[in-house]
Amino acid sequence: MATVSFQQATRVYPNSERPAVDALDLDVADGEFLVLVGPSGCGKSTSLRMLAGLEEVDSGSVLIGDRDVTDSPPKQRDIAMVFQNYALYPHMTVGENMGFALKLAGVKKTEIAGRVAAAAKILDLEAYLERRPKALSGGQRQRVAMGRAIVRQPQVFLMDEPLSNLDAKLRVQTRTQIAALVKRLGTTTVYVTHDQVEAMTMGDRVAVLKDGVLLQCAAPAELYDRPANVFVAGFIGSPAMNLVTGAAVEGGVRLGGTVLPVPRDRLARAAAASGRVTVGFRPESLQLVGPGEGFEVVVDVAEHLGSDAYLYTRLAGADPDDALHPADVVVRTEPRSSVVPGQSLWLGVPPDALHVFDPATSQRVD
């Protein structure tokens, strides 16, 4: 068990001007499950590989426990890694794959066998120990990759999108299994994914990266309730939070033809730089209100999912060609509502469900 700490850790790939990971500051507590999430190319894998010792750290440092491992090779870091494509040794059996690291470490044969058997039991792989990886299904290979990590009983688990090669259903199952297993072992884990649902369901805390920069690191609920900036607000949650930008006017922000009320002090601070305000509200927090009370939208499409329904709407009176300021608003409603396309609705946002951002900085205003 150990803590992990990135301190101003930066990686600039050769022949590239922009850092792939830019001055990353991140502390992972002992036994914590931390998820790194962000769109493809944001530097998640690079961060993880810096922690693994597979990628150079150009400046700053990386600590595991109290030890500065910035310049240590992977084998001195006491970490185990699960790769996206599993990277199982093709010519070794499942058992040999899992025991390879222990064999290299000079662990006695009987102990290796015992630990491999124990891991195989946990992962339901006992029947496959003599097989080669190519004779396994995707889910089984994934479990072997997990097994290879857990037999080592390392200080830290590193996992780089370990579920992305599974089909959707298996992914959901395995996600819960991994989370439960890691919790039980109590090992510090850094988990990389581009899937925000995975991040929200698995992580004790979630760190959102974009373009190599850490935007926010917080518990899933905090991330959801108080996103620190426009990007996090739009990235976390599905369907995404509605984000619309409009001119600040007396008492609120102009949305299409109507004005959405925004508390006075927040409005003033958010609009200080640009005279405009970005407001965000989640599809599920919108309420149908009487005409004239909130803001008006026109329904484009109604999607009925059984448990609930989503209305894809446009702000009434908005310029449809203004690509800079999208006017789309998604609303979650009762499953069997009788709303039809073309219909106009009035929507209200409860004050505590309204997120306000400064369009000049994209930062949240409280």
Partner 1 sequence: MTTIALPGTDSTTATPQAAPPVRRSGAKGGTGGRAGRAGPVTYTLLTLSALVSIFPLYWTMVAGSHTNAEIAATPPPFLPDASLFENIGAALEQAPIGLAILNSVVVAGSITVGTVLFCTLAGFAFAKLRFRGKGLLLSLVIGTMMVPTQLAVIPLFMMIAELQWVNQLQAVVLPTLVSAFGVFFMRQYLISALPDELLEAGRVDGASTARIFWSIVVPVARPAMAVLAMLTFLTAWNDFFWPIIALTNSNPTVQVALAGLGSGYVPQRAVIMAGTLLGTLPVLIVFAVLGKQIVGGIMQGAVKG
Ligand X SMILES: Nc1ncnc2c1ncn2[C@@H]1O[C@H](COP(=O)(O)OP(=O)(O)O)[C@@H](O)[C@H]1O
Question: Contact between 100 and partner 1 (CB under 8 A)?
Answer: yes
Nearest distance, CB of residue 37 and ligand X, angstroms = 9
Interface with ligand X (CB under 6 A): 13, 16, 20, 38, 40-46
Nearest distance, CB of residue 199 and partner 1, angstroms = 22
Instruction: Give, as ranges, the residues between 43 and 72 that touch partner 1 (CB under 8 A).
Output: 52-54
Identify which of 296, 350, 342, 315 has the alpha carbon closest to the alpha carbon of residue 245: 315
Residues in binding contact with Mg ion, number by CB under 5 A: 1
The tokens for 206 are 């979630």
Could you give the C-alpha distances from 100 to 49, 117, 182, 330, 344, in angstroms and in order?
21, 14, 21, 51, 65
Nearest distance, CB of residue 82 and partner 1, angstroms = 9
Question: Contact between 16 and partner 1 (CB under 8 A)?
Answer: no
355 touches 364 (CB < 8 A)? yes
Question: Contact between 45 and Mg ion (CB under 5 A)?
Answer: yes
The tokens for 200 are 């929200």
From the list partner 1, Mg ion, ligand X, none, partner contacted by residue 42 (C-beta under 5 to 8 A by kind): ligand X
Nearest distance, CB of residue 168 and ligand X, angstroms = 20
Alpha-carbon Rg for the chain in angstroms: 24
| Pairing mode of beta strands 252-255, 242-249 | antiparallel
The 213-252 site mask, x for binding partner 1 (CB under 8 A), equals ----------------------------------------
Spatial distance between the Cα atoms of 21 and 43, rounded to a whole number of angstroms: 6
Binding residue for partner 1 (CB under 8 A) from 8, 59, 85, 363? 85
Instruction: Give, as ranges, the residues between 328 and 357 that touch partner 1 (CB under 8 A).
Output: none
Binding residue for partner 1 (CB under 8 A) from 8, 25, 68, 105? 105
Nearest distance, CB of residue 112 and partner 1, angstroms = 13
C-alpha neighbours within 13 Å on the C-beta side of residue 50: 33
Residue 29, classified by CB atoms within 10 Å of its CB into exposed (0-12), middle (13-18) or buried (19+), is: middle
User: Phi and psi (nearest 5°) for 207?
Assistant: -110, 120
Nearer to partner 1, 104 or 340 (CB): 104
Q: What is the dihedral of CA 221, 222, 227, 231, to 10 degrees?
A: -60
Nearest distance, CB of residue 83 and Mg ion, angstroms = 10
| Residue 278 bridge partners (DSSP) | 245, 357
Nearer to ligand X, 40 or 338 (CB): 40
C-alpha neighbours within 13 Å on the C-beta side of residue 244: 30
Bond prior to 239 in cis (omega within 30° of 0):
yes
Question: Contact between 83 and partner 1 (CB under 8 A)?
Answer: yes
Question: Contact between 193 and Mg ion (CB under 5 A)?
Answer: no
Instruction: Give, as ranges, the residues between 129 and 148 that touch partner 1 (CB under 8 A).
Output: 148
Q: Which amino acid is at 225?
A: D
Nearest distance, CB of residue 54 and partner 1, angstroms = 5
| Interacting span for partner 1 (CB under 8 A) from 83-91, 192-200, 236-244, 342-350 | 83-91
145 touches 87 (CB < 8 A)? yes
- Residue at shortest CB range from Mg ion: 45
Spatial distance between the Cα atoms of 133 and 93, rounded to a whole number of angstroms: 7
Question: Contact between 91 and partner 1 (CB under 8 A)?
Answer: yes
Nearest distance, CB of residue 46 and ligand X, angstroms = 3
Residues that bind partner 1 (CB under 8 A): 52-54, 73-75, 79-81, 83-85, 87-91, 100-101, 104-105, 148, 152
